Amino acid sequence: MPSGVFKTSYAEDMAFIRWPIHRIALTLAAIFLLTYPFVFRNNIYMLYWANYIAIFLIATLGINILTGYAGQISLGHGAFMAVGAYASTITAIKLGLPFPLTVFIGAISSMLFGLIFGIPSLKLKGFYLAIATLAAQYLVDFLLVNPKLAWLTGGSSGLIVPEASLMGFEITKLSGSDFYFYFVTVPLAVFFFIFAANLTRSDVGRAWVAIRDNDIAAEIMGINVFKYKLLAFAIASFYAGIAGSLWAYYIGYLTPEHYTIALSIDFVAMILIGGLGRHWGSLVGTVFVLTLPEVLKRVIIPAISGFVPVTFTAESLRPIIFGAIIILFLIAEPHGIVELLRKVKEYLRLFPFPY
């Protein structure tokens, strides 16, 4: 009987699932995702939370591809999401197109927008690119609240998003719509997760990593740097567009306040806290960053409200704690929670004898 897992062919070594433990873990995850909505059938809050995370996970996967794998810093991911959300909502309102099609249109529009802002990445690097994407963020904000464009975007009062209907079935209108929407968001999130994971272990993913590590060296090795940078922008903004459209449909109304610079910074924080260039990092980071304000509101603020002289509210405490966590993580564990977990695992594996 073999005393471990031995791979006897190249295909086995390159397989998507390489270890028995992964198979077990993925099966458990699948069971968890399938039973979750039925367990919380009547708990709207938990269902909402799951949808929230699933939708934002799609966008986070996108920015992790762009920043974590291809190394292009983006501070405008919220704007990409906004473009997707507005494109899908406007096509749904003005043209009356069906829900799946508008989500797709939203994603494509966002992708085109991302491509436009990917073009400067040929010349701009690092800080300059970060600033350019930041400018994109503010330009989109400006256009969305602009009263001159209010006939299209609804201005600062926003738009009411039509009901999402799928196969003659109005998902967002039914009672318990959170439950039904779960079956839209979570499968999509799983699909995009697997797609991203497969993409980044292909030749495309390796080209991205090469560009991230040193773009000049990558170019010398024959990688078409511009093409792959643009591809990263396209895919990241496509993901953001999908997430933005779904989010608009899910909450039912659309205002520019959902997609400000704060959201863009949150996305960078998610991948940094979770783990740059790791898809599990996207998941962990999204869960962490989105759950934190709720924990603050429900647990920490009631606990401290009697002791401190100044008035801490969720609005003020969140940036303080959030900023502190970002700083702490960057100082103590720059590779994020996923790396931290790996270290813990490694420690436990060797536990009594660390040598």
Partner 1 sequence: MVLQSLINGITIGGIYALIALGFVLIYKASKVLNFAQGELVMMGGFMCLALSGFLPIWMAVVLAVIISAFIGFLIEKVVLKPLIGEPILSVIMVTLGIAYMLRGLVLAVWGPDIRAFPQIFPEGAFEVNGVVIPYVYLGGLLLSLMAIIAFILFFTRTTIGVAMRAVADDQQAAMSLGISVEKIFAISWAISAVVAAIGGILVGNIYGGINVNFAFIGLKVFAVVILGGLDSVLGAIVGGIIIGVAESVGGTYLEPFVGGGFKDVFPLLLMLLIMAIKPYGLFGTERIERV
Residues of the shown chain interacting with partner 1 in the complex, contacts defined by CB under 8 A: 67, 73, 120, 123-124, 126-128, 130-132, 134-135, 138-139, 142, 145-149, 214, 216-217, 220, 265, 268-269, 272, 276, 310-313, 315-327, 330-331, 334
Distance CA 188, CA 139 (A): 30
Nearest CB to partner 1, comparing residues 300 and 325: 325
Nearest CB to partner 1, comparing residues 97 and 300: 300
Least distance from partner 1 to the Cβ atom of residue 89, Å: 21
Least distance from partner 1 to the Cβ atom of residue 80, Å: 17
Distance CA 133, CA 339 (A): 28
Least distance from partner 1 to the Cβ atom of residue 87, Å: 20
On whether the CB atoms of residues 230 and 118 are closer than 8 A, the answer is yes
Nearest CB to partner 1, comparing residues 146 and 255: 146
Least distance from partner 1 to the Cβ atom of residue 295, Å: 16
How many CA atoms does the CB half-sphere of 197 hold within 13 Å?
15
Nearest CB to partner 1, comparing residues 186 and 289: 289
Nearest CB to partner 1, comparing residues 114 and 162: 114
2-22 exposure pattern, b = at least 16 Cβ within 10 A, e = fewer: eeeeeeeeeeeeeeeeeeeee
Distance CA 218, CA 178 (A): 46
Distance CA 236, CA 227 (A): 14
DSSP 8-state class, residue 154: -
Nearest CB to partner 1, comparing residues 28 and 122: 122
* Residue with tokens 């473009």, as numbered in its chain: 83
Distance CA 199, CA 192 (A): 10
Please state, as a whole number, how many other Cβ atoms lie within 10 Å of the Cβ of residue 339: 16
Least distance from partner 1 to the Cβ atom of residue 163, Å: 31
On whether the CB atoms of residues 241 and 107 are closer than 8 A, the answer is yes
Least distance from partner 1 to the Cβ atom of residue 65, Å: 15
